[in-house]
Amino acid sequence: MAHPALSIVIPAYNEHARIEGTLERVMACVQARGWDAEVLVVDDGSTDETVPIVQHWMEKYDRLHLVKNPGNRGKGYSVRNGLLQAAGDIVMFTDADLSSPMEEAERLMAAIDAGADVAIGSRWLDKQKQTVHQPLYRRFFGRCFNKVTRLVMGLPFKDTQCGFKAFKREAAQTIFRLQTIERWGFDPEILFIAQKLRYKIVEVPVTWGHDERSRISYLKDGMKMLEEMAEIRANSVRGRYDEAIAAMKDTSKMVTPQVERVEHVEVR
């Protein structure tokens, strides 16, 4: 069976308040644009009505799927699970709040079609595209974090944290099998790995609007992400990424995350 042209992965944890609106917008965009696309919602152990809502929508769309994590593991784990399960020639992930409208995926796909292995959405390449600005304190902490990330990780990108990224399927299968960070700090790691593997990474300006319901805490989560960046650098110095790359040549050593993909569910 031929792969779909595009896989859209949406990590979700207790998103009952907005997942229905998200699916409505995503599926409407897919249909309006005529994309050959599948959509995978990755449930990260939600305790609310997120899963039943997704299952209800699966009755309407046979290319909408549910991937269930073995408990609450974090956004990084969810993205990895979804992208490794995705079948598209181009695979991407977007945050459940759709801070970047789904239509902006065309910009990422265009970059991939033009030769990029990885296309990352950026809020800072063209500030005019920001429709709803973050509060000043969030902008301050965000820019400080990005400067530290660029310094510590050697990443040249203006925006590493935007939750809107796309990959060639082959690149994603390699990058995400090497990923070790499971929570908020996974973005710098996957870019670090992609750069280490000499994949072509293109930063793409996208329309973006801040959502006040964002759960990230720049103080608590920011400190954790700094710890994770130190862990990434330490792993690199110790040669652990190089060892993992070598091990990937032996398929018996490759470990696929534990997931449950629910194709069609009868809702009673």
Q: Which tokens go with 211? A: 């959502």
Furthest CA-CA distance within the chain:
53
At CA 183, angle to CA 213 and CA 242, rounded to 5? 150
Q: What is the pTM of this model?
A: 0.85
Q: What is the pLDDT of residue 87?
A: 97
Cβ pair 88, 173 in contact under 8 A = no
CB atoms within 10 A of CB 139: 15
- CB under 8 Å to 216, separation ≥6 — which residues? 184
* Domain chopping of the chain, boundaries: 6-251
Tell me, what's the pLDDT at 214? Answer: 57
d(CA 65, CA 82): 10
Output Rg (C-alpha) for the chain, integer angstroms: 18
d(CA 158, CA 167): 18
pLDDT along the chain (268 residues), means of 10: 90 97 98 98 98 98 97 96 98 95 97 98 75 60 74 87 95 96 91 96 87 59 80 91 86 47 42
Tens-place pLDDT, residues 242-255 = 999 988 876 544 44
Calpha distance 29→26 (Å, rounded): 5
Tell me: domain 6-251, CATH 3.90.550.10, correct? Answer: yes
Q: What sign has the CA pseudo-torsion 205, 162, 179, 264?
A: negative
Do the Cβ atoms of 206 and 104 come closer than 8 Å?
Answer: yes
